A and B are shown apart, each in its own frame.
Chain A
Amino acid sequence: MAGILATAQVTSSLALSLASGRSLFLIIDLLGIACFSYLVAKRLLPLLRGQRDFRLDRPWLRLGKVLKFWLVQWKQPRYFVAGILHIFLFAGFLVLLIHSFSLVIVGISEHFVMPGFSGRVGDVYDVLKDYAATLVFFSVAIAAVRRAFFKPARYAVPAKYGKDHTTEAVFILGLIATLMIADGFFDASHAAAQLQLGQAVQWLPVLSLPWMLKSALLSAPLATLQTIHFGAYVVHDLTFFVFLCFLPMGKHFHVITSFFNVYFAKLDRGTLKPVRWGVTDDHLDQVKSFGVKTFEDFTWKHMLDFYTCADCGRCSDNCPANAVGRPLSPRFLTIKARDYAFQHYPVLGHESNGTPLIGSIYSEDEIWSCTTCGACEAECPLLIEYIDKVVDLRRGMVDDGNVPQSLQKPLKALESRGNPYGKMEKKKADWANAKEFQQICPVKTLDAKNGADTLYFVDSITAYDDRMQSIGRATAKILNHVGENFGILGASERDSGHEVRRFGEETLFMALRDHNVEAIRASGIRRIVTADPHAYNALKHDYKNLPPVEHISQVIAREVKTGKIKFDPIANENSVYTYHDPCYLGRHNQIYDDPRDVLDAIPGLKRVEMTRSRDRSFCCGGGGLMLFYEPKEDQRMGVKRVQMAAEAGANVMVTACPFCMVNIEDAIKVAGLEGKMTAIDLAELVDQQIARPSPDLNKEQADEIKDCVATSESASRPE
């Protein structure tokens, strides 16, 4: 194209002309623009019906995300081949953007040059764009072959979700290829004509697509070249507008919406959207209906998410619920909602609304199956959000009384007793009050007479579950060892409510939260520590205006660095350890290194990394209320995880979450790996390995204390 520009400077006449088609092209262009605008307006309509969503804050942070995730395509290489291909395509598209606009205008005004692109800039751009087009063409070809023949598993569409999507994908690839070839022929035919006419030839970059096509056209007669030139332009113009208008009709809408979707993406990880943006807690009683029941209950941003899904399947490929055969596939949560929008807000015809989603496009089990692990959100290159939608759908079901029987009992117990087990409040500190334990590690319960700097927030499972109480005791011993002045709330502590909220029972959550916040404020503590990542996440993100919260792994890592914690070497030479990242410590709160640093500080500890680790960690099965839900699944998530540990060559799994511990220890039995794999909590391991000098005790006394502790440990460990 720039070649035309260059020759325009040299000669005032073009080798080949489009002039005869001016009216035709004008009509095509105007029709195309009108059609596209109409389609976009139609697509925007449901967003106007949706709920509010405040996404205009922190514009610089948002722009930063746009740079990182949209422009630089930061997440794409997580799937390497597809990722690189897509980066090529995307980069090529960006480069070709200017050219595409110019090309459209050229049909109406042949000598048009994009402002700022004459001269040197234009020359450089021309080279770039020709190579870009070539790159796009070959990427498209590889992508098509991949789609049609290699058929990566994550693109497959299970029968219950409808027809395969390959046709749509290949069609678009075909359109893109057509654009590249048409453009190439357009330039190549002109260059060939210039050659024949003896004019100065525009320079086509070597081995670029137009260059290759030019070689093919060298001996063609001039008339043919004119036909090809004109025809290529018609094809390009038509294809351009067909492509443009096709975008809002399917998954390629993301070509347009991705920029906006990333800009408006959620900035605060680990948080949940409120029941209704703009409605404070004390005004919630006025909200008639909680949660998402119909499509219009989604916020406009959620609807934009549905449009932006590129159907890549990466989310479902990483979803642990999907992997074990639960009826949940995040990809299809989005695609089904998108198709619902297309159907109920059609481009031709009238909108229809108000159909309940549960029972039509979604099933109850599908929505209850989610453990909120966040693997889908971590993977999605377009930053589509899932957890808020699942929680909103659950809020809707809870509002309608539609809660599985298996969850009603623990919810009721949480309401009456503040914990899902129905155990009495006065027994919440029993884990710390066994006489033998009190002798070696006194734990004070905070009240009017007893204060402290730090609160150890124990939460329900660690306080009441026989097995998990040992995590509580280990944590208390560690805090003691580092000289922390701490206490527990005891009977005035309620469940943190983390899963209560994520299972959609917002009102009960607020009751638990308000009770805990009052107890925490009354205690006068200035810092909170917990060994439970779910409690950690709740205190950090769901509760407001609390003193700073830390997870015990952060405390330990810090004290290892200061030297307050020193370790004895690992006794068993055959132990190979691997660290399992709990979802609410790792993925949601980015605490990956502290636990690893702690493990690596233990002399003689051999550690291996599982393939799926850090933000690719595989959920153990879920915590809180998820332990009570009875899903339909082919296998336990925990079993898969334990097998991953075995594959990595480990025989000890270390985790830093009591729920992970429940699921993993259970899975070891179910997987038949008893005796071959064990699990230990980070706090338990640290407590076991801390080098404790006791110069005043002789060996007998030291042994006696060890026995005491062992007895109190095993007495409370369920057989």
Chain B
Amino acid sequence: MARIFAYIVHKNGVVDDSAFELAAAARKIDPAAAPTAILTGSGADLDAACAALGASYPEIWKIANDALAYPNAELVRKALLKVLPSDSIVLVAHDHFGIDLAPGLSIQLNAAFVSDVVDISGVEAADLKVVRQEFGGQVSTQVRCNVATGAVVTIRPGAFKALEGAAGLVAGNVIEKSSEVGTLTAGRRYLETVVADAGDVDITKHNVLVSIGRGIQEKDNVAIALELAEALGAAVSCSRPVVDAKWLDKSRQVGSSGKTVKPKLYLACGISGAFQHLAGIKGSPFLIAINKNPKAPIFQVADIGIVDDILEFLPELTNKARELRSVAAK
């Protein structure tokens, strides 16, 4: 079986949760082998990231280079090409960086490419069998990928559960690969990051979120959610369609192109449950979903589900909450 590598995304010394998911995915490809982590970057942040991987990866390849201080996929790709053995299987998280890095990497490695994988069935002869989704998740497909000359596979964040029990074991062996890379230049140069407006409310700081989706139907109904949030001592967040329709500011958006939140309790109101939205919810909060469509995908991932019209349910919830608060106040 070919060697499996996992490219690890990290920031400010902290590794992304996907790192541990990739390890789990690697195990599904080859339960016997242990994947090798590859990290690029520079300075103390890179060192801390390597250390943070714990025992998930017995071997960790570290590529330190000033040019890689900011993860520019064009440069990272060139660096990886210098160190990756031929015919490797490379796992990358399917996020804004993976989308940038992986397809071109597969060409330059002369490897196969399959993206946004949600499940891995195993290996059969030279084929890796995976599951993907199409049409916004409405249907799934079984895909066979010939890995004889290697493969680059991007993994959907959250699709694979991180392996348990990695903490407490000896940290992986960090192997210096920086000298193999040489000078790195590319036709694309990072300039700066424009931070999205903080807005009046920082949803990442709240323990309870009342989150609304398309089911809120129109701008005037947003008030229903705001009232509920006030009654519950929570904040209102939302999914992308609500921001696209300009009913709420972008600072309220939860999702892969919005904010990542880690509340204790998440009320998903009129949200269908598209993965791009769920990708923004970390830390496994208690998820209560209210949606009038009993077949909404959100009910697959929620803890508690209520099939009801949010436009009717939420106001009642607000009224009862207010009652309870006034009783408690007495």
Are chains A and B touching in the complex at the 8 Å CB cutoff? yes
- A residues whose Cβ falls under 8 Å from a Cβ of B: 630, 636, 669-670, 718-719
Q: How far is the CB of A214 from chain B (nearest CB, A)?
A: 68
How many of B's residues come within 8 Å of A, CB to CB? Answer: 7
Pair B220/A719 contact, Cβ less than 8 Å:
no
Question: Are A718 and B292 in touch, CB under 8 angstroms?
Answer: yes
Pairwise interchain contact B309-A670, C-beta atoms closer than 8 A: no
CB of A409, distance to nearest CB on chain B (Å): 12
A670 CA to B219 CA, complexed, in Å: 11
CA distance in complex: A718, B292 (Å): 9
Is B312's beta carbon under 8 Å from chain A?
A: yes
Contact partners of B292 in chain A: CB under 8 A: 718-719
Across-interface contacts of A718 in B (CB, < 8 A): 292, 309
B318 to chain A, nearest CB (A): 14
Chain A residues positioned under 8 Å from B16 (CB to CB): none
B308 contacts A by Cβ under 8 Å: yes
Determine the distance from Cα of A630 to Cα of B311 in the docked complex, in whole angstroms. Answer: 20
Q: Within the assembled complex, what's the spacing in Å between the Cα atoms of A184 and B159?
A: 96
Chain A: interface secondary structure?
loop
- Once A and B bind, how many residue pairs between them come within 8 Å at the CB atom? 10
A630 to B245, CA, bound (A): 9
Choice from A630, A636, A719 contacting B309 with Cβ under 8 Å? A719
Give me the interface of B with A, judged by CB distance under 8 Å: 220, 245, 292, 308-309, 311-312
State the CA gap A124–B309 with chains docked (Å). Answer: 78
Contacting residues, chain B, for A719 (C-beta < 8 A) = 292, 308-309, 312
- Known A718-B292, A719-B292: A670·B312 in contact at CB below 8 Å: no
Which 9 A-B pairs rank lowest in CB-CB distance, beginning with the nearest? A719-B309, A670-B220, A719-B292, A719-B312, A719-B308, A669-B311, A718-B292, A718-B309, A630-B245
10 A–B pairs (Cβ distance < 8 Å), ordered by A: A630-B245, A636-B220, A669-B311, A670-B220, A718-B292, A718-B309, A719-B292, A719-B308, A719-B309, A719-B312
A711 to B29, CA, bound (A): 52
Neighbouring B residues of A670 by C-beta, 8 Å: 220
Interchain nearest-CB distance for B300 vs A (Å): 22
User: When chains A and B are docked, how far (Å) is the Cα of A718 from the Cα of B312?
Assistant: 12
Q: How far is the CB of B224 from chain A (nearest CB, A)?
A: 10
Closest to B313 in A: A719
- Shortest CB-to-CB span from A676 to chain B, Å, is 15
Distance, CA A719 to CA B316, complexed state (A) = 14
- Nearest B residue to A406 via CB reads B245
Q: Which of B220, B245, B309, B312 has the most CB of A within 10 A?
A: B220
A669 CA to B314 CA, complexed, in Å: 14
Complex CA gap A669/B216 in Å reads 13
A377 to chain B, nearest CB (A): 30
Please give the distance in Å from A316's CB to the nearest CB on chain B. 25
**How distant is the Cα of A719 from the Cα of B308 in the complex, in angstroms?**
8
CB contacts (< 8 Å) of B309 on chain A: these are 718-719
Bound Cα distance from A61 to B28, whole angstroms: 85
Chain A residue with the shortest CB-CB distance to B308: A719
Least CB distance from B257 to A in Å reads: 18
Known: A719-B292, A719-B309. 8 other contacts (CB 8 A): A630-B245, A636-B220, A669-B311, A670-B220, A718-B292, A718-B309, A719-B308, A719-B312
A669 and B224 CA atoms in complex are apart in Å by: 11
A718 and B309 CA atoms in complex are apart in Å by: 9
Q: How far is the CB of A633 from chain B (nearest CB, A)?
A: 11
Q: How far is the CB of A281 from chain B (nearest CB, A)?
A: 37
| A635 nearest in chain B by CB position | B220
Q: Tell me, in angstroms, the Cα distance from A670 to B220 when the chains sit together.
A: 7
Q: How far is the CA of A719 from the CA of B309 in the complex (A)?
A: 6
**Residue of B with least CB distance to A667:** B220
Q: Which residue of chain A is the closest to B310 with respect to CB atoms?
A: A719
Query: B312 contacts which chain A residues (CB < 8 A)?
Result: 719
Residues of B within 8 A of A630 (CB): 245
Closest-by-CB residue of A relative to B246 is A630
Query: Residues of A contacting B308 with CB < 8 Å?
Result: 719
Q: Considering the chains assembled together, what is the distance between the CA atoms of A490 and B5 in angstroms?
A: 58
A44 to chain B, nearest CB (A): 47
Q: In the bound complex, how far is the Cα of B309 from the Cα of A669, in angstroms?
A: 14
**Which residues on the A side are within 8 Å of B220 (C-beta)?**
636, 670
Residues of A within 8 A of B245 (CB): 630
Q: Which residue of B lies closest to A669 (CB)?
A: B311
Give A718 to B307 CA distance when docked, in angstroms. 12
CB distance from B148 to the nearest CB of A (A): 42
- Residue on A nearest B223 in the bound complex, by CB: A670
How far apart sit A196 and B149, CA to CA, in the bound complex (Å)? 127
**Cα of A630 to Cα of B246 in the assembled complex, Å:** 10
Write the nearest CB–CB distance from A365 to chain B, whole angstroms: 14
Alpha-carbon gap, A630 to B312, bound state (A): 24
- In the bound complex, how far is the Cα of B312 from the Cα of A719, in angstroms? 8
A719–B292 alpha-carbon span in the complex (Å) = 8
Q: With both chains docked as a complex, state the minimum distance between the C-beta of A64 and any C-beta of chain B, in angstroms.
A: 47
CA A636 to CA B220, docked complex, whole Å: 10
Residues of A within 8 A of B311 (CB): 669
Q: State how many angstroms separate the Cβ of A15 from the closest Cβ of chain B.
A: 77
Contacts of A669 in B (CB 8 A): 311
Please report the C-alpha to C-alpha distance between residue A718 and residue B310 in the assembled complex, in whole angstroms.
12
Closest to A719 in B: B309
**What separation, in Å, do the CA atoms of A718 and B217 have in the docked complex?**
13
CA separation between A537 and B312, bound complex, in Å? Answer: 36
Q: How far is the CB of A668 from chain B (nearest CB, A)?
A: 12
Question: CA separation between A630 and B218, bound complex, in Å?
Answer: 10
CA distance A238 to B193 in the complex (A): 74
Q: List, in ascending order, chain B residues with CB within 8 A of A636's CB.
A: 220
CB distance from B90 to the nearest CB of A (A): 39
Distance (whole angstroms) from the CB of A673 to the closest CB of chain B: 14
**Shortest distance from the beta carbon of B313 to any chain A beta carbon, whole Å:** 9
Closest chain-B Cβ to A2's Cβ sits at a distance in Å of 69
CB distance from B204 to the nearest CB of A (A): 29
Which residue of chain B has its CB nearest to the CB of A666? B218
Q: Separation in Å of the A300 CB from the closest CB of chain B?
A: 42
- Distance in Å: Cβ of A317 to nearest Cβ of chain B: 26
Docked pose: A718 CA to B293 CA in angstroms: 10
A173–B136 CA distance with the chains assembled, in angstroms = 68
Give bound CA distance, A630 to B220, whole Å. Answer: 12
Q: Bound complex: CA of A719 vs CA of B245, how far in Å?
A: 23
B210 to chain A, nearest CB (A): 19
Tell me, rounded to whole Å, the shortest Cβ–Cβ distance linking A501 to chain B. Answer: 26
- Bound complex: CA of A669 vs CA of B245, how far in Å? 21
Cα–Cα, bound, A718→B220 (Å)? 19
The residue in chain A whose Cβ has the minimal distance to the Cβ of B307 is A719
